[in-house]
Structure 1
Amino acid sequence: MAIPTTRTALSSRAVVFGFGAHSVIDDMPVLLEMTQLADREGLDLFSLSDHPYIGQRLDAYATVGFVVGRTQNLAGFANVSNLPTRPPAMLARTVTTLSALSDGRVVLGMGAGGLWERIAAMGVEPLTPAQAVEAFEEAIVLVGKLSGGGPPVTFKGRHYQVEQIEPAPVAAPPVWTGSVGPKSLAATGRVADGWIPGHAADWLSARYVASRPVVDEAARSVGRDPREVRTIFNFPGQITERPLARTRDGDGRWIGGSVEQWIEELTAAVVEHGASGFMLFSPRGGTPDLPSLGRWAGDIAPAVREAVAQHAG
């Protein structure tokens, strides 16, 4: 089976595979090695967390730009952008430029902001949870308006305003959100292209079962097909040499297993639960190690793609 190009995979119903990192500056050589391995082995994307108030962390957008410039097919994104510290008009310029330079190898991950004490310490005016969700939805809309060409844009939102700003001639990349609460989930259904369930919740979790219908109903309320909003899972776990007797713990959370057990689990997630993608993390939710990434890219992802294609055919 031919692996789809990154741009096709990100914009179509193809299942996407990637990995996530929480990298500090000293980790850069290892991160480069990992992204080059991922690029060679046909993974679709990598992600970095976006916590600009942590001085040791690599800046997500500077790193994405650097990495996509050193790879051929791998896409990158902030998982998810710390919106309160990145005004949407400037964020639109950043992501459309990255998209133009990389031939579409970027996703716009968006979050409303969570650690408000740390965000406020950077000089950002704190918002209430309701205000943060309003700003989050406005920002997604504004990024779209400032992309794809057209006449100058005037936007008068409650939280963001621009006056006669020329849009970039480049289309906005897909927008994937990290929504958790019901209002944020509804905003995702109305205006986003993908959803990354919070707290590494998977398709069998109570969080997902309760949350996905909120996204779907909001999508239908504005005339969208809910399937337009893809679900991409941050998925931590251990890849073991031998099968495990149990692949989930007492709370039902995935803990890992052999390559064959991963293939079976992820294939079922796509075929039976409509999963659209998976971002590998370490068992504790951090950056995976190189041997695990090699198995993920070289063994698990191709086999799941093949199994899904056989089921569809």
Structure 2
Amino acid sequence: MEHTGPGHNGPSAPQVVFGFGAHSDIDDGPELLRAAQQADRDGLDIFSLSDHPYLGARLDAYATLGFVLGRTRRLSGFANVTNLPTRPAPMLARTVTSLSALSGGRVVLGMGAGGLWDRIADMGVPRLSPGAAVDAFEEAIVLVKKLSGGGPPVTYRGRHYQVDRIEPAPVPAAPVWTGSVGPKSLAATGRVADGWIPGHAADWLSERYRTSRPIIDEAAAAVGRDPREIRTVFNLPGRITDRPLAAPRDRAGRWVGGSVDQWVEELTGAVLAHGASGFVLFAPDGGTQDAVSLGRWAREIVPTVREAIAKENGTS
């Protein structure tokens, strides 16, 4: 059966997705491919790569996505998140629709307004004010979607993007998940995006989540969208330990990990009590996930959480 990427179970019930993330250097390529192929075999949904094109030691996110998608069968991929200022929206649309067509829809478009502007400007990209960067970010999401799904040629006149009579690709638009942080960017996510990844690896018990998610929901409702359609996907660093930890959260309240049972209890509660709809596991040091931890995540934690959610929802 063709896999069509992370999707929704219904208009108000996004399917919960599980994956892993990596910040991979060029020398990490073979290790990353092995991890992705293991995740693919073990039934994970998605893998993600950071996108920092001003770092010469890093693998390019989109070249790597294409390579890994070509060597896997079910796993979806996304840049977590795309460094938009260095990847203009019309070309980004072509990249993402091509990857989607070649992979059977196994692509998510992670989108960011751009954070490290000193380094972005070092790439020769004109510097934007924070407000202008968010305006460009929202225009880009709209334009990428317009340039997907077929239909008549697109003419678009925005403040930051203008295109004339450009044919959309005959490929459905990929889901767009943003890394929005500030209020203006969060509101844009509510208006035009399909998912949100809280910044700084904030989780469902964090102040960032509690204060940010309502902004998304209010902006979505204001334009007639059902806020429940916009998933929240958490980047989640943490250790998987053989024995339970006395304190699976640190003094600041951040999740640090624990035993399989502690992970299962925490993630099940995140879904059922806090509306989480995705988790991307990162190694505590930010590198590529080691094979043992990735295997325990995919074979022990994820299936048990899925089973618990299904049981609670009456779908098991």
With normalisation by structure 2, the TM-score equals 0.96
2:142 is aligned with 1:141: yes
CA contact (8 A) 2:45 2:75 kept: yes
Q: CA deviation at 1:293?
A: 0.5
CA contact (8 A) 2:244 2:262 kept: yes
Corresponding residue number in structure 1 for 2:274: 273
CA contact (8 A) 1:243 1:258 kept: yes
Name the CA distance, whole Å, in 2 between partners of 1:121 and 1:37: 37
Q: CA deviation at 1:5?
A: 7.5
CA contact (8 A) 1:11 1:174 kept: no
Q: How many residues align?
A: 310
2:133 is aligned with 1:132: yes
Amino acid in structure 2 at the alignment position of 1:112: A
Deviations 1:231-279 (A, max 9, x none): 0000000000001111101110001000010000000000000000000
Q: Secondary structure at the match of 2:110?
A: strand
Corresponding residue number in structure 2 for 1:52: 53
CA contact (8 A) 2:5 2:76 kept: no
2:192 is aligned with 1:191: yes
Q: CA deviation at 1:11?
A: 3.8
Cα pair distance change 1:9/1:81, threshold 3 Å: closer
Name the CA distance, whole Å, in 2 between partners of 1:85 and 1:214: 27
CA contact (8 A) 1:6 1:44 kept: no
Corresponding residue number in structure 2 for 1:299: 300
Name the CA distance, whole Å, in 2 between partners of 1:63 and 1:11: 26
Name the CA distance, whole Å, in 2 between partners of 1:6 and 1:265: 28
Name the CA distance, whole Å, in 1 between partners of 2:88 and 2:26: 24
Q: CA deviation at 1:289?
A: 1.5
CA contact (8 A) 1:39 1:73 kept: yes
Name the CA distance, whole Å, in 1 between partners of 2:146 and 2:5: 23
CA contact (8 A) 2:82 2:110 kept: yes
Unpaired segments ≥5 residues, structure 1: none
CA contact (8 A) 1:65 1:98 kept: yes
Unpaired segments ≥5 residues, structure 2: none
Name the CA distance, whole Å, in 1 between partners of 2:123 and 2:60: 15
Corresponding residue number in structure 2 for 1:218: 219
State the identity %.
73
Corresponding residue number in structure 2 for 1:121: 122
Corresponding residue number in structure 2 for 1:229: 230
Corresponding residue number in structure 1 for 2:244: 243
Q: Secondary structure at the match of 2:4?
A: helix
1:7 aligns with one of 4, 8, 29: 4
Q: CA deviation at 1:282?
A: 1.3
Deviations 1:150-197 (A, max 9, x none): 111000100010011011010110000000000000000000000000
Deviations 1:98-139 (A, max 9, x none): 111111000000000001111111110000000000000000
C-alpha root-mean-square deviation of aligned residues, in Å?
Answer: 1.1
Higher relative contact order (CA 8 A, sep 6+): 2
Q: CA deviation at 1:9?
A: 3.6
Deviations 1:175-220 (A, max 9, x none): 0000000000000000000000000000000000000000000000
Corresponding residue number in structure 2 for 1:289: 290
Q: Secondary structure at the match of 1:280?
A: strand
CA contact (8 A) 1:193 1:229 kept: yes
Q: Secondary structure at the match of 2:247?
A: coil
